[in-house]
Structure 1
């Protein structure tokens, strides 16, 4: 009798084990230290509503979904995320505030001020021109005469252009968007890690690929792969296609040295189950989805494993 194919998550666990055992140990930007390799690829099917949520630990997928919807608004201030109970971007502005003021404020107090005080949020909650700013408002310049240019009020909306291109030029090799704006990287709280997304239409299906220049495999990957699944399925729905396959490519793929407990616990677990991601409504545009439109079914993960975030 033929053996069943390996669970989709096994490739992730195998990569985690390989990096932990054989990765190059190095000091990184955060000072925490990592074990790292350059170059990794994983492939996952989205057929029949499949979604590659990790099952060897609980992934809070609604946090990732809210973040993706926030990116699509073009917002770069954490205030709206914090209002929704999403804390994944707070550490960077909090760290900047502590360094600038010397005040040892805790995260809860800082977030409370962000929500309650609009002026405080404007001063301390903005992340610079990160993902959403580049995705939907990439700077565009217009000539004003005598060889002089000024920044236009409205930039390029890469997402809107992508939807139109998938609909009208499905054979194009330019179905992509990126957040890596060289001219503005230095102004970002964190330069784009999941930096370039590319898509392909094949046999009525939309396939998606993400190139991630830097991947925290222990914490960040679970959100990144869900985000790729989500945006691929949204684009497919908007363009009257089925979701096909997603491909994840990592550049510097690493595990933090202070994640030993997470890594050793997780690679000892056995993945199981076949969760589904469904979109219960088709809005008029890709910018009109709400969190209530998304549903995950048949997801029964093992318990959450906590680990610190390196800032």
Structure 2
């Protein structure tokens, strides 16, 4: 069993057995037919993934690792807020007629800020600190910019990354760890998607900064399963599981901005059948 499977199964059982329901309450999300989209939720879920041990892809069903990476690069590398720069349609419901999702996600990553060391955007600041001041306790990003929320078509869900560097005894390499903060997550559609894409980010940043990947800690304030997803989740967590796949990056890439999805290799990824036609609350 992949450790990601073990965590996912435990988390889903905990939400279903011990979570609280929003049924009958005033909620924002709704289904395509106009019905309110209620959830069973848990507050403050924290999952830890040791990336030095295995790549945390679910095997209960396959996660599209390259598509998840493409979305991460859309935000962190291309720094775009336009779905025309993205090779999938997952953001179509939140885009305007020109393809923009407003001042959200990639838009915030390309905004330059004045630091003592010069003018940089958030991504370049992270890379600068990891290379020049790796033991800083201030290496972080934030997409939840209150002054721009009214111009975002969707408030950021995964809104903050905090990076922290450690070193193991008898090791000649620094280890890159990270915390992903998420205000809200649709567990069935997005949990492993987010885990995979930010794990890839840690792998990429570690490589270009001459480090090794360490832990990814995923903090979810509101971890929820939608009412119409409950039977799908109940079936999913009873499936057989397999060993985690092997993940590799092209070792020749030394600049974060040179990575593409073609630089990812995933081997021995055995997984259960995909769940199709999952209803998505908007």
Matched, 1:132 2:137: no
The question of 1:280 aligning with 2:280 is answered no
Partner of residue 80, structure 1? 85
Q: What are the Cα deviations for residues 96-149 of structure 1, in whole angstroms up to 9, with x where unaligned?
A: 6xxxxxxxxxxxxxxxxxxxxxxxxxx431100111111232577xxxxxxxxx
By how many angstroms is 1:6 displaced?
8.0
Count of equivalent residues: 262
- Deviation digits for residues 14-65 of structure 1, max 9, x if unmatched? 11111122211114311211111110111111115x2111110121112101
1:101 — aligned with what?
Answer: none
Task: State the alpha-carbon separation in 2 of the partners of residues 40 and 88 from structure 1.
Answer: 25
User: Where do 5+ consecutive residues of structure 2 fail to align?
Assistant: 30-35, 168-173
Cα root mean square deviation, aligned: 2.0
Summarize the Cα distance change of 1:138–1:25 in structure 2 as closer, same or farther, 3 Å threshold.
Answer: farther
What TM-score results when the alignment is normalised by the length of structure 1? 0.79
Q: CA deviation at 1:209?
A: 1.1
Q: 1:67 aligns with which of 56, 63, 71?
A: 71
1-structure distance, mates of 2:73, 2:252: 15
Between the aligned partners of 1:247 and 1:74, the Cα distance in structure 2 is 23
For residue 178 of structure 1, the aligned residue among 142, 152, 155 is 142
Shift of 1:8: 3.7
TM-score for the superposition, normalised by structure 2: 0.87
SS of residue paired to 1:183: helix
Question: Could you say which residue in structure 2 is the equivalent of 1:205?
Answer: 175
Verify: 1:237 aligned to 2:207, yes or no. yes
For structure 1, list consecutive stretches of 5 or more residues without a partner in the other structure.
97-122, 141-154
Residues 175 and 212, structure 2, Cα contact 8 Å, conserved in 1: yes
Whether the 8 Å contact between 1:136 and 1:160 is mirrored in structure 2 is no
